[in-house]
Amino acid sequence: MSDAVTTPAQDSEESTNWRSIPQIAVVFGLVLCMYGLVQDKQQFAFSYLTAFMFFLSLGLGSLFMVLIHHLFDAGWSAPIRRYLEHFSCLLFPWLGVAFIPIGFMAPDYIYPWMQVADPHEDHALYVKKALFNKPTWYAASTLLFLFWGWLTHRLRYWSLQQDKSGTAEFEGKLMFPEHLIASFYKNFQGLPFEKDNQQVLCTRMMRIHAAYGVVLFAFTLTLGAILWMKSIQHQFFSTMYGVYYFAGSVWLTISTAWITARVLKAKGLLPQVHNLQFYHLGTMLLAFTVFYAYIHFSQYFLIWNAAVPEETFWYVLREQGTWAYVSWALIIGHFLIPFLTLLRIDVKLTNKVMVPVFIWVILMHYMDMYFNMMPEIHPDGPSPAVADLGALLLIGGTLIWVFMRSLFSHPICPLRDPRMGEAIEHH
């Protein structure tokens, strides 16, 4: 099995061209960003934040997919897990690095509450001052990336070590807090914790990280969505906001995972994926289409029903001018079209339908992010800017570049995962 996996066609001219696309994107993105920065700093700041939150979705969504894979002891997702681990590892340091410009632009161009000198003057800010003050905001942002870095890299570390289990290359070293967790499971829970069986040790460590990780994942994702997105309009209240960002993130990730699997399979790099994986990803996409709609409707419905000015202003702004069309486009494009398309069972294995759907999903998620950020600086309606494209190319290009480098420097799918047999079995 391993022979077929670890030999990507590195030297052929075609694949070299294919791999230089991200570099070109970064160069173009950088030029466009510079232009955008000179033209209008605030526009650039918002464009950059939109692109950042868009790609953060992918990192967090992939982390979630890896976590639930371990939590449910899933078999089918074993072959697609490795590249999801690479996607999630983009969270640290790369998305963390991408966040630095936001840190610099935040006070002057993005978050109006940072300019309020005295929180007593703004009641909405005063009640939220525990979270919405500069030191907390910067410290919390840093901690989020550090935590995501820890979780994603430990998950990938054990996953990569598992590939080497049973060979001389295996290291499998526990890092500091992992000792405590491991001894807790062994001594207090009485669970067998076979140190001698390297393959089992790796699976156990990944499961342990997934178990506490998923709880902290929920908190950190919510905090991230509140700190970086919701606080653009700090007066707004919504308990749904974190879940809302989460639903969209996983939705985007499923599409990206599907497309990545399709590309890798077409290139002959990941022969282990077959209809089982494509079907399940299609099913999950349908589930998250409904879930997102449910969450966004709930948020809207409660705000509409209660009609409290502190909440309604957020949607009132988004129903003015041409934003109203964007709102409608979200209802129809983010929910109705994918929902009705994905209903039929056979559609999920039809490439002609699924490829456009997945590309559509990516566009819709960007529109959703745009809908969340831009009304603050363009109350009359969406106004596309050069910086939008520039930021997307810059961040996206860098991340894909890093992703491809990690992808090709490790086995493309887990080699010694105990669940692999189940995943590649054909009926």
Partner 1 sequence: MSKSFAIMAEYETPAEIMDAAKKVHAAGYEKWDVHSPFPIHGMDDAMGLDNAKVGYFTFFGGLIGFTTGMTMQYFMNKFDYAIVVGGKPLFSGFFAFPVSYELTILLGAFGSLIGMFVLNRLPRHHHPLLANERFADVTDDKFYVVIECDDDHYDEQTTRNLLEGTNAVHIEMVEGTE
On whether the CB atoms of residues 330 and 217 are closer than 8 A, the answer is no
Minimum distance, C-beta of residue 241 to partner 1, in the bound complex (Å): 19
CB of 341 to partner 1, least distance (A): 13
- Using the minimum distance from each CB to partner 1, give the nearer residue, 21 or 308: 308
Cα gap 276→79, rounded to integer Å:
11
Q: Which residue number, 150 or 300, has a Cβ lying nearer to partner 1?
A: 300
172, 201 in Cβ contact below 8 A?
yes
Closest listed residue to residue 178, CA positions, set 155, 149, 145, 162: 155
The residue ranges that bind partner 1 (CB under 8 A) are 297, 300-301, 304-305, 307, 343-346, 427
Give dist(CA 138, CA 362) in Å, integer. 30
Q: How far is the CB of 307 from partner 1 (least distance, A)?
A: 7
Which residues, 6+ apart, have CB-to-CB distance to 193 below 8 Å?
182, 185, 186, 201, 204
Please report how close the Cβ of residue 313 comes to partner 1 at its closest, in angstroms.
17
Q: Which residue lies nearer to partner 1 by CB, 338 or 396?
A: 338
CB of 334 to partner 1, least distance (A): 16
Comparing CB distances to partner 1, the nearer of 343 and 363 is: 343
Return the number of the residue (235 or 298) whose C-beta is nearest partner 1: 298
Residue 410 one-letter amino acid: H
DSSP codes of every residue in 375-393: GGT-TTS----HHHHHHHH
Nearest CA to 226 out of 238, 209, 217 is that of 238
Minimum distance from residue 345 beta carbon to partner 1 (Å): 6
Nearest approach, Cβ of residue 368 and partner 1 (Å)? 20
CA distances from 88 to 41, 55, 84, 85, 234 (A): 30, 11, 6, 5, 29
Cβ proximity to partner 1: between 104 and 301 the closer is 301
- Length, in residues, of the chain: 427
At 52, the amino acid letter reads F
Distance between first and last Cα of the chain: 19
Cβ nearer to partner 1, comparing 193 with 278: 278
